């Protein structure tokens, strides 16, 4: 018997229209979804355009522009699914309960595998895999000059077009230059976002255009949950389950400025929103305010 169904996603290797890729198999999702950018890279039938507004639990929209029939191959099993096409899905493709139930897929969480029968009824055992983590460099759009003991909100660009709650990790090289950059979550809009830079030096610092500020990556435990797939429903209510392990970041010895006993100069930083003049205790608080 399959183990009790849980609502966390699993990852397996598949072929979508004969294109190898990884997919999320999510028992918490009523529908299957493919990202438009990935769809463009594979051979496919005509897309049936039908715009729908999908609202997440935290009011983040999932932009669905239509649906398309896809062939999903897993070992000897060939299956088909009508997948919704989204412009801002983080993963390449997500297989939901519409595909799971129609193909008699059973998930065994305690064994880290699932089973799917082929056309002859022979069960194929498919092991779960660890998702591939994709990192994108975050680059400065413009040259920036940061005065001594001050902070600046700068524009960065990356290869991601539109996505929410991506993990930003600063490039460690800047720590040795006494440029402090908070770890944070970013919302990317048209390949751009804003990041806070703090100059902890007693002199101005200049960073040229295209300087690598840090790395942007997807959370590997990202999943989406849907409640219904009724064709009469105009809005699908989704709930993003973004599980994040708590992390504590430690600076290297060369960047231990934040741990020095005499760090009184850091308290002189005036962290203020330039738009509304509201004051904040930390750069992270300012970034949350600006999102």
- Note the pLDDT tens digit of each residue in 84-114: 999 888 788 999 999 999 999 999 988 999 9
What is the model's pTM? 0.53
Per-residue pLDDT band at 53 (split at 50, 70, 90): confident
> Are residue 76 and residue 118 in the same domain, yes or no?
yes
Tokens of 40: 């463009």
Q: Is the pLDDT of residue 152 over 50?
A: yes
List the CATH number of the domain containing 74. 2.40.70.10
Better-scored residue on pLDDT, 269 or 52: 52
- In a domain? residue 207: yes
Continuous segment of H or E residues that includes residue 286: helix 283-290
> Are residue 83 and residue 141 in the same domain, yes or no?
no
List the CATH number of the domain containing 185. 2.70.40.10
Q: Is the pLDDT of residue 278 over 60?
A: yes
Tokens of 76: 């000897």
Domain boundary among 76, 110, 127: 127
pLDDT of residue 132: 72
- Least-confidence region, from 40-44, 74-78, 104-108, 222-226: 222-226
> Are residue 140 and residue 115 in the same domain, yes or no?
no
DSSP state string for 167-190: EEEE-GGGGGGTEE---EEEEEBT
Q: Diameter of the chain by CA atoms?
A: 74
Count of the separate structural domains present in the chain: 2
> CB of 68 within 8 A of CB of 40?
no
Q: Is the pLDDT of residue 262 over 50?
A: no
* Phi-psi category of residue 203: left, alpha or beta, with phi > 0 → left and psi -120 to 50 → alpha: beta
**Rg of the chain taking only CA atoms, in angstroms:** 23
pLDDT of residue 114: 96
| Distinct helix (H) and strand (E) counts, the chain | 3, 21
pLDDT of residue 219: 55
> Are residue 95 and residue 141 in the same domain, yes or no?
no
Continuous segment of H or E residues that includes residue 165: strand 163-170
Tokens of 47: 């897309």
Domain ranges, residue 157: 135-217+259-290
> CB of 25 within 8 A of CB of 10?
yes
- In a domain? residue 247: no
């Amino acid at each position: 018997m399959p183990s009790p169904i849980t609502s966390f996603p699993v990852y397996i290797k598949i072929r979508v229209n004969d294109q190898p890729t990884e997919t999320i198999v999510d028992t918490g999702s009523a529908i299957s979804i493919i990202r438009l950018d990935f769809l463009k890279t594979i051979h496919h039938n005509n897309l049936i355009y039908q715009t729908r507004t999908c609202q997440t639990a935290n009011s983040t929209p999932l932009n669905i522009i239509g649906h398309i029939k896809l062939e999903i191959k897993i070992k000897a099993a060939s299956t088909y699914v009508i997948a919704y096409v989204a412009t801002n899905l983080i993963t390449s493709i997500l297989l939901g309960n519409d595909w799971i139930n129609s193909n008699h897929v059973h998930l065994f969480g305690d064994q880290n595998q699932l089973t799917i029968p082929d056309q002859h009824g022979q069960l194929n055992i498919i092991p779960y895999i660890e998702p591939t983590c994709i990192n994108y460099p975050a680059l400065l759009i413009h040259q920036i000059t940061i005065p001594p003991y001050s902070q600046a909100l700068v524009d960065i660009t990356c290869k991601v077009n539109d996505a929410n709650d991506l993990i930003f990790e600063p490039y460690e090289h800047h720590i040795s230059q006494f440029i402090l950059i908070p770890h944070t979550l970013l919302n990317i809009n048209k390949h751009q976002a804003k990041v806070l830079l703090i100059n902890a030096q007693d002199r101005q610092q200049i960073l040229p255009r295209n300087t690598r500020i840090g790395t942007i990556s997807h959370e590997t435990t990202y999943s989406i949950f849907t409640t219904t797939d009724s064709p009469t429903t105009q809005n699908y209510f989704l709930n993003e389950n973004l599980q994040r392990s708590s992390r504590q970041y430690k600076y290297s010895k060369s960047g231990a400025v934040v741990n020095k006993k005499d760090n009184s100069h850091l308290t002189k930083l005036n962290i203020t929103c330039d738009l509304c003049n509201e004051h904040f205790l930390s750069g992270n608080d300012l970034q949350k305010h600006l999102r």
